[in-house]
Structure 1
Amino acid sequence: MVDLTMNSLPKRKLSSLFAVTSVCALLGTGTALAATPAAAATSAAAAPQQTLTGASSEATAPPRGRTAAVANPLYRSGALAPSTCAPTPTRAGSTASFRAYATKVTTCLNASWAAQFKKAKIPFSKPRLRFVTSRIMTPCGRWNKGATGVYCGTNRTVYIAITKRNLSDPFDLGLAQLVAHEYAHHVQYVSGILPYYWQQAARSSGSAKLLLSRRSELQADCLASAFLRSASTSLPVEQEEWDGMIRWTKKNGHKGWPTNDHGKGTSQAYWMQRGFNAGSPSACNTWSASSSRVA
């Protein structure tokens, strides 16, 4: 899946909406690409056969169908444990520091979500991480225009784009949110949520299909923010920067998508804040939320 408009923001403090707007435009966006039809049909069954990380001997196959979305065991797994995640800050113009920062955040995500799946007693495996410098063709299909991050379920890979624009004025919190959002699509995949979404989307069209997409993308926003809360002390997540990013998202988060498949800016900001406040997947059940909350 590919994410939306948040690639890289400057490290300076975001003390005003003007400052946030001027830098958030650099952030980049992400989304989730649908798996190939064959992969979508077999993904739920394949998940337990992966090499598992952090899964206990009591782990069972992830739930399937609507149950996976509306009553997933992750929702009852409690808050994510505090994460000691202290990546070295990025440096303007440095590809190496960009890659190192995103890689370190991914390592922290691996540890946090492995522990969370263990509590939920669901098998877990890490995704792959790949950096790209152009809009490539993934096994799931063409890279979405405007996206700076993508998750493909067919090969269980998080793709992060490195562009001159991203490198010129980096914003570490924005990069962390982008990586965490794409990783959240992998969380959805191995927990059975994403296979359910793909199955339903294949049978839907028009407004019904867009609604399903928004439930998936807004949930990824929420799960990503729950992780950021767990790592807020060490990452760190400065309250001023977080508030600025929420304000910017509320006003501009939807502008990168030609159709309303990721949610209005107000919806994105709502689910990001909800996940951050709770620090738990329990706050992220978009599949049971009213349509007005995922507009």
Structure 2
Amino acid sequence: MPRLLVLLAAVLTLAGCGANAEPTQAIPSSSPSATASATPTTPPPSSKASTVSTSVDETLVRNRLYSTGRLARTSCTLPTKRLATKTAISRYSTVLVACLNRAWRPSIERSGNYFAPPTVQIVEADHVSPCGQADDASAFYCSENSAIYLDWEYYADEDPDQTPIRIEVLDVLAHEYGHHVQHLTGILGFFDSRTDGLSGKALWPDTRRMELQATCLGAVFQGANRRTLNLTGERLVYFSILQEQGDEEPPFDHGSPESNEAWTGAAFASGDPKSCNTWTAPAAKVS
């Protein structure tokens, strides 16, 4: 079995934040610096959300992110060195996140929010972040310090065929960056406030909407920049395989394979955040 599929079984069964494992404030989930925005806008909300007093319709359903238009296309030349060492994975991740910054910054500013880039932390397993420890998470996003964490040992791969692992790291970082977009636009903070006090199965429905949206936003970036990312041929095949993954057993917090494929398919085709409003979708579409 290709390494890609083996890894996905572990990645997509994680709860909540990025790696799909991202602790948001205190909720685990699966999944380069730049100067401040040249356009004075509203500073990013804290992880506890300055959106507490904002209505759910404004923050989730009618967020201005959905009306910002197609994501910017950006030139992105990723390092070609084999992803077998911490240094190589760190370099690849840093360059990729810089590409994500360039693509997402115009959309964030058009939404009326302040753009601030995330940092990339290349760590070992069970690393403790300001958001806590995401056990067994291969990657996660922490809104407390706007950082994407990646367990480099999990992704290190000596295989001469680097296509699967390169597409996998591309996809997981795009997903985690999706959580950063949610943070900058108030969605993640409102989610934290909305679900405060919930746990277990009671948390799953909203968590699925949040995670499916992050995955969808990741596909927006990859679709809008499919040419510079060379998502054709074999690389597109591996990308498509990743989008067919989903929850097969509890916790059901990242969405079914069918839901993941549907949201990412639409987002990849449009390259537009408007394809990612999971908060208005009927329950069957975010199962």
Q: Give the TM-score range, shorter chain.
A: 0.7 to 0.9
User: For the Cα contact (< 8 Å) 1:82–1:231, is it kept in 2?
Assistant: yes
Task: Describe the SS at the equivalent of 2:180.
Answer: helix
User: Alpha-carbon deviation of 1:133?
Assistant: 1.9
How far apart, in 2, do the equivalents of 1:206 and 1:143 lie?
16
The 1:134/1:22 distance shift into structure 2, 3 A limit, reads: closer
Answering whether residue 267 of structure 2 is matched by residue 284 of structure 1, we say: no
Matched positions, count:
259
Answering whether residue 116 of structure 2 is matched by residue 125 of structure 1, we say: yes
Aligned to 1:273: 265
Answering whether residue 229 of structure 2 is matched by residue 235 of structure 1, we say: yes
The 1:248/1:160 distance shift into structure 2, 3 A limit, reads: closer
User: Alpha-carbon deviation of 1:144?
Assistant: 3.3
The 1:248/1:234 distance shift into structure 2, 3 A limit, reads: closer
The superposition leaves residues 196-216 of structure 1 with CA deviations (integer Å, 9 ceiling, x where unpaired) of 111111143454410010011
Answering whether residue 149 of structure 2 is matched by residue 159 of structure 1, we say: yes
Q: Which moved more, 1:81-90 or 1:92-101?
A: 92-101
Q: Which moved more, 1:167-176 or 1:194-203?
A: 167-176
Normalised by the length of structure 1, the TM-score is 0.80
Answering whether residue 132 of structure 2 is matched by residue 141 of structure 1, we say: yes
The 1:264/1:103 distance shift into structure 2, 3 A limit, reads: same
User: For the Cα contact (< 8 Å) 1:53–1:114, is it kept in 2?
Assistant: no
The superposition leaves residues 151-203 of structure 1 with CA deviations (integer Å, 9 ceiling, x where unpaired) of 01111111011116532334212111111111111110111000111111114
Runs of at least 5 residues in structure 2 that lack an aligned partner in the other structure: 12-18, 28-33, 45-50
Runs of at least 5 residues in structure 1 that lack an aligned partner in the other structure: 1-17, 38-50
Aligned to 2:166: 172
User: Alpha-carbon deviation of 1:97?
Assistant: 2.2
Q: Which moved more, 1:60-69 or 1:126-135?
A: 60-69
How far apart, in 2, do the equivalents of 1:284 and 1:270 lie?
11
Q: Which amino acid aligns with 1:119?
A: R
Task: Describe the SS at the equivalent of 1:160.
Answer: strand
How far apart, in 1, do the equivalents of 2:133 and 2:59 lie?
27
The superposition leaves residues 216-267 of structure 1 with CA deviations (integer Å, 9 ceiling, x where unpaired) of 10000000010111221112212543344334542x4324x63101111221
How far apart, in 2, do the equivalents of 1:35 and 1:248 lie?
27
Normalised by the length of structure 2, the TM-score is 0.82
The superposition leaves residues 114-140 of structure 1 with CA deviations (integer Å, 9 ceiling, x where unpaired) of 111122221111111100122112211
Task: Describe the SS at the equivalent of 2:73.
Answer: coil
Alignment of 1:213-228 (within 5 A): 213-228=207-222
Correspondent of 1:202 among 193, 196, 200:
196
Aligned to 1:258: 250
The 1:78/1:249 distance shift into structure 2, 3 A limit, reads: closer
User: For the Cα contact (< 8 Å) 1:222–1:271, is it kept in 2?
Assistant: yes
Q: Which amino acid aligns with 2:169?
A: L
Answering whether residue 89 of structure 2 is matched by residue 106 of structure 1, we say: no
Answering whether residue 54 of structure 2 is matched by residue 54 of structure 1, we say: no
User: For the Cα contact (< 8 Å) 1:247–1:269, is it kept in 2?
Assistant: no
Task: Describe the SS at the equivalent of 2:121.
Answer: strand
Task: Describe the SS at the equivalent of 1:269.
Answer: helix
What is the percent sequence identity of the aligned residues? 28
Q: Which amino acid aligns with 2:71?
A: L
